[in-house]
Structures are given as structure tokens and as C-alpha cells.
Amino acid sequence: MALAASLSSVSLLSPFQWSTFTPCLPHRASTHKSPPRITSTMVVIAASDTTTCRHERRVFAPQYRGGCSPFGQGKKPAKIGAYVSKMGGSSKKIVTGDAGYVLEDVPHFTDYIPDLPTHCNPLQDHPAYCVVKQYFVHDEDTVTEKVIAHKNGPRGLHFRRAGPRQKVYFEPDEVHACIVTCGGLCPGLNTVIREIVCGLYHMYGVKRVLGIDGGYKGFYSRNTIPLTPKVVNDIHKRGGTILGTSRGGHDTSKIVDSIHDRGINQVYIIGGDGTQKGASVIFEEIKRRGLKVAVAGIPKTIDNDIPVIDRSFGFDTAVEEAQRAINAAHVEAESGENGIGLVKVMGRYSGAGGLFEYVERRLKENGHMVIVIAEGAGQELLSESMHSADKKDASGNKLLLDVGLWLSQKIKGHFTKKNKMIINLKYIDPTYMIRAVPSNASDNVYCTLLAQSAVHGAMAGYTGFTSGLVNGRHSYIPFYRITEKQNKVVITDRMWARLLSSTNQPSFLTAKDVIEDKREDESPTQLLDNQSNPDMSNLVKKEIYCN
């Protein structure tokens, strides 16, 4: 973090300030062969002839990759146990430290392009930022993946913290950026587009930004759309995406050829896990060719199934809109005799269980009920009853059958056959309405921060990363962590237990379900925890007995 307050010619900082801040002095190779030890009693004399950063009276965070560092161009901090591994065709950049510290770092231009020039960040002259006390992020700042730790346990996995760096690898005039949206619609797409454009333009002075029309295939088969702050001024008030979107169409060679031919050197890719897999492949090809092109991803899905990050943008809006449908279903159910409101919402991979007997009991006790089902629930049951083969869309996602319609027919059939009671079932499917609405205030703020973090990262020379929120801190996450798996609803964790208790519904789980779910969800970290805590080994048994 940095202090952006003006200094007099001689200033004294507090011990806390000295622990995190150093002055941005002109680079003089003969002045310091190594960084001086800074103590709380050191006096800083701001040089009056500073030329490197043009702001001789400001204090900035130390960035030891060179540029504005007073300790020399191109010097990097010593990293303990740094190595790069190859897995699945992609490079993993791992940095290890003391006490079990592990940094899953993101790629940087300097990893494969030597002797790149650096420049002072234009934000230091920006009228909005120059009065801010801290706006540059220290190169060594990292964000922990898991905030819960044991007293004697390892420090665990970390990601690089997002934010502006003191030096950048692009001059504003040389930047030629592009933005593409892929996959399904999601609230907030237009907001992200707007904030990337405005962030590049207003923070870094970048004037050339293109929108790629129609998803990945737009790189080589469609026209581009010039984007300026004026063009995107009020698009955040609209749903959908002004750039258009599509599934599939990913031809790596053609896409990278188009990027190179157009002179594009920053690529911002907005999409879900499938889109991020495509972005990872594009980055690897760009790296193989040795091109100075930053590839940054912004994760998008209303299913909230992207791993590592706290949530994806659009999710808050989707939940808010789904509530409207659920409330409508509740009104319908309450108003009719033995009313049932059935609502299908998006969410590809969730569990389902038998519930006809429970529906019958609930109607007798309460006179009405509401059922909310995820679109991906019970697909194996539909496949068996409809004898349908698995099919996939252009993005590689499994095409889902309409479980809501199927379940409504099954419930009606159950009560018709037994002639036990008359029911009034209303089926509501708001899925496509939910994803087409504009983002709400919460998502708009989140989209802004995601977009600006991506811009800061690209300007600082980072590439092959996704911008995301990890434990409340914006971070740069390598593509392989975003694409290696999907988040699923865990039916044996506290969140599911809270849902069951608040809605007063049974779990429908068997002992076999609990054991299998525990095995799937078990990780090396959990195994370590179990070894250090004997009581954890009996957790599965206890849950079985409870059920």
C-alpha cells in the first residue's frame, strides 16, 4: 500500500508508515547498491530534481521489479522456492515460502519476454488518485485462499493481490485493447464492458478500445465496435450485452492471428468457466508466439459455480429476481386449495430426491407449499424416463432437459392415480427472464471493481489471469484454478443444513449419499485437518446416525 500525501522537503513518518511505504526517488545506480534499512527515525529528503516519476513530493509503495523503484531498474525481490511446473499443457507458476506459504502466481510478461521497458503509472498524476493515501499495491501483497487456519498449521495457498502497480508495461498511446463477451447472458455484462472502457480511458489515458461482436467467432468472422466512454455511458442500465454473444466458435489459431493482425495488445474476456478455458488456450498460444499481449478474464455466471472466488457477478441480481418468481408462486399456492407453486431456477449441478410423500404430508398440514428446483437437478431421472442421450451445446455444456415441467407432470400424475386429493399446481419458469435483467446496485459495484482490477493487472504486465474476489479481497487467479472444476451444492455442509432448518424440510439423504458426497468433497487440506483432529474422523458416522 502506498501513501499519496504530499511531503515537505524534510518529513518524518511514523513507524507504521515506514513499515509499508518508501519514497519514489530518481533512479541513481550509484546511490544504493541495495535497499537501505528503513527505521522509524529515518528522515526523508524529497529530491527537488526528480525526473523519473515527475512527482518529487510523493511517497509510493515499493515496487521492486524496476521502473519507479529507487533501488534500480529491473531488480526483482528474492523468491524462495519459486518454480514453474507443466500440467495439462499449461504452466503453473508456484512460489513457496516459510511456514507452508504457497503462492499460486499468475504469468507476467517478464516470464517469457526479456528486457521490456517499464513506465511510471499515470495514476500518480491523476487528479482523482493523487489525493488518495494508498493506491499502489505492493508487489509482494498476496491474498490467502482460506481464512480459517489451525495454530500449528501451514499458512496455505495464496493469490496475488489485485490493484494498480507503481510501474506499468504499456504507454497509453501504444495500448490497443479489445473486449469480448461469450456464453449465455448474465446481469452485469454491460457494466463490466463500460467499466473496462472507462477505466482504460479515464485512469490510463487509453483511447483505442474495440468491442468484438458475437463472442469468440467475432474475432475472425465479424466486425468490431469502437468503444469510447460516450458509447458506453449508459449501457449499464440495460440487460444483455451490447457486443452480442455466442457459444462455441473457438478457433485458437484464427483468434490469435486476428489479435496479432489488428495490433491488439490487451484482451479482456468476459464469460463463464467454458469461456475462461478458451481464454487460457488463447493465452498459451500468445505466450508460445512470444507476443506482448495481456489476456485477462472476468468470470461470469449466474449459477455461481466458478471455484475459488467468493461469487461471480450477476449472482446477487439473479437471486433477487428469482425471489420475485418464488413470491409469485407462493401467492398462487396460498390462494388455491392444496396449492403447489413450482419454480425452476438456473443452477446446472444440484441434487434432487424423492418427495411425493412429503408433498402430500405438507399439503395436509399446511394447505399449500412451494417447491424451488434447480435446472440441473434430477437429470439422470429424466434421461431414464425419456430415454434420451446426453447432448452438449456449442460450449460443451450438457443440454439439460426441463426438470421443472417433468416434475410438475410427475406430481400431478401421483395425485391423479391415487385420487387422494385435488391439487392446484402452478409451474413458473423464470430462468431466461432472470438472466436478461440489468444488474442491481450491488452487482454494479462488484462489476466495476472486477473490471478495474483486470485493467490494472493488464497494464502492470500480468497476463493469463482471472480477476476475482477471494475472501473479500480482489485477486489475480491463474486460469487453471478457475477451470479445473465447478462449484457444486454440498449437501453435507453447514449452508445446506441452514437451508433445511430455515425451511423446515427433510434432507431426503441416505447414509450412502452422505458417504459418497464426503468422498467427493474431501481435499488434501481436509485430510490434514482430519489427521490433526481425531474427532473429525467420526464426522461421517455422526451424520449418518443423525439421518
Task: Supply the pLDDT for residue 101.
Answer: 93
Give the pLDDT band of residue 522 (cuts 50, 70, 90): low
Element (H, E) at 389: none
List of residues 6+ apart from 526 with CB closer than 8 A: none
Decide which of 335 and 506 is more confident: 335
Report yes or no: 44 and 173 within 8 Å, Cβ to Cβ.
no
Lowest-pLDDT range, 66-75, 86-95, 321-330?
A: 66-75
What amino acid occupies position 32? H
Residue 527: alpha-carbon gap to chain centroid: 27
Decide which of 49 and 233 is more confident: 233
Task: Supply the pLDDT for residue 240.
Answer: 92
Report yes or no: 79 and 64 within 8 Å, Cβ to Cβ.
no
The number of beta carbons lying within 10 Å of the beta carbon of residue 384 is 9
List of residues 6+ apart from 29 with CB closer than 8 A: 72
Checking if the pLDDT of 383 tops 80, the result is no
Task: Supply the pLDDT for residue 7.
Answer: 30
pLDDT tens sequence across 433-467: 888 899 999 999 999 999 999 999 999 999 999 99
Element (H, E) at 31: none
Checking if the pLDDT of 533 tops 80, the result is no
Question: How far apart, in whole angstroms, are the C-alpha atoms of residue 421 and residue 337?
Answer: 10
Task: Supply the pLDDT for residue 538.
Answer: 40
Rounded mean pLDDT, 290-309: 91
Count of alpha carbons within 13 Å of 7, Cβ hemisphere only? 24
Lowest-pLDDT range, 334-338, 409-413, 483-487?
A: 483-487
Lowest-pLDDT range, 187-191, 280-284, 395-399?
A: 395-399
Residues labelled as active-site residues: 303
Lowest-pLDDT range, 145-154, 202-211, 312-321?
A: 145-154
Question: How far apart, in whole angstroms, are the C-alpha atoms of residue 423 and residue 411?
Answer: 9
DSSP 72-84: -TT-----TT-EE
Cα dist from 364 to 337, 369, 432, whole Å = 11, 10, 34
The reported pTM is 0.74
Lowest-pLDDT range, 112-121, 153-162, 335-344, 396-405?
A: 396-405
Rounded mean pLDDT, 47-58: 35
Checking if the pLDDT of 206 tops 90, the result is yes
What amino acid occupies position 378? G
Checking if the pLDDT of 541 tops 70, the result is no
Which among 174, 181, 182, 216 has a CA at the least distance from the CA of 196? 181
Which among 493, 500, 496, 499 has a CA at the least distance from the CA of 526? 493
The number of beta carbons lying within 10 Å of the beta carbon of residue 221 is 14
pLDDT tens sequence across 156-177: 999 999 999 999 999 999 999 9
Task: Supply the pLDDT for residue 149.
Answer: 82
The pLDDT > 90 percentage for the chain reads 40
Task: Supply the pLDDT for residue 203.
Answer: 94
Task: Supply the pLDDT for residue 414.
Answer: 83
Which among 3, 112, 138 has a CA at the least distance from the CA of 58? 3
Rounded mean pLDDT, 515-540: 46
Cα dist from 348 to 229, 269, 304, 332, 397, whole Å = 36, 22, 10, 26, 9
Which among 246, 321, 250, 261 has a CA at the least distance from the CA of 291? 261
List of residues 6+ apart from 547 with CB closer than 8 A: 507, 509, 510, 511, 514
Which among 198, 320, 193, 319 has a CA at the least distance from the CA of 245? 193
Question: How far apart, in whole angstroms, are the C-alpha atoms of residue 455 and residue 390?
Answer: 39
